[in-house]
Chain A
Amino acid sequence: MLFVVDAVSPTAPPRGARGLHRFANPGRFLRLAGRVLPWVSAIGILLAASGIYWGLFIAPADWQQGDAVRIMYVHVPAAWLASAGYLSLALASAVSLVWRHPLADLAAVEIAPVGAGFTAICLITGSLWGKPMWGAYWVWDARLTSVLVLFFLYLGHIALTRAFDSPERGYRAGAILALVGVVNLPIIKFSVDWWNTLHQPASITLSGAPTMYVGMLWPLLLTALGASFIFAALVLARLSAAVMERRIRALLAARAEAA
């Protein structure tokens, strides 16, 4: 019983949020996560491993960059997931602020470290790619700087959600920061078009055909899809742990009250 009392808001959810609130029941969420998680993890590992093997050993080297182009197969998926992860953080924050969905708070808290990790991968592999190509590990280029700002936004969210005695205040402050930080996403995306940058423009767009050799495109798409599944699996696993930890706190509080 405490499981439900702890997790579900005492006020009835708004009409539009009732579908979402079906998953506010931690027991239901844990059962669903337990069933989905092994599949999501296995698919992610399989896709990423195939993409990495293809990218490292089958795909051709670039005529200008040589084998350094193979860094692309880890750098680009990490960059996409850094932005996509932040978008999911902002969505969870919006759901938390508007509908007070109890799992949305926890989801935001658990997405932020994983997003920061993938942003770190993007920045580090970008530096390692930049050194042989540009002659420098780092330049204060618009794309690099805006991704660094994204990394700081993630760190800010992690720090802010843990900075208050009351977790609810931390969740609310973090949610506001996450929503304000969304403004950085179009800046990252269009920085290579708006300013003169060392970073190359996008090779894959939704509006046109990719400007990349198909033998390089497929392993890139495979690693990106695999990394997306791995990202989702990590967040699901962390969220399951967070739901159980919340339940433990509730049980301990109930026990202390009874004693």
Chain B
Amino acid sequence: MTHLAFIIPSYAVALVIPALFALDAWRRVRAARARLAALEAGRRR
């Protein structure tokens, strides 16, 4: 395969950027769900 020095970084960028967004979204959802559950439990008590 020719031009590998350009193809590999292109695919790396195209995979890494969405993966970082996915990781950030997962972390936010998990943190918000936990915080919300704690607050709701506090309200019910």
Contact = CB atoms under 8 A, between A and B. Distances in A.
A125 B13 contact: yes
Interface stretch (A8-16, A113-121, A168-176, A192-200): A113-121
Contacts of A131: 6
A245 interface: yes
Contact of A74 (B14, B20, B35, B40): B14
B39 A132 contact: no
Interface residues of A, number: 37
A71 B22 contact: no
A242 to B, nearest CB: 8
Contact of A241 (B17, B20, B28): B28
Contacts of B25: 234, 237-238, 241
Contact of A132 (B6, B13, B24, B35): B6
B5 to A, nearest CB: 9
B45 interface: no
A234 B22 contact: yes
Interface residues on B, range: 20 to 34
A163 interface: no
A52 B11 CA distance: 9
Nearest to B29: A241
A53 to B, nearest CB: 11
Interface in B4-28: 4, 6-7, 9-11, 13-14, 17-18, 20-22, 24-26, 28
Interface of A: 52, 56, 61, 66-68, 70-71, 74-75, 78, 113-114, 117-118, 120-121, 124-125, 128-129, 131-132, 230, 233-234, 237-238, 240-241, 244-245, 247-248, 251-252, 255
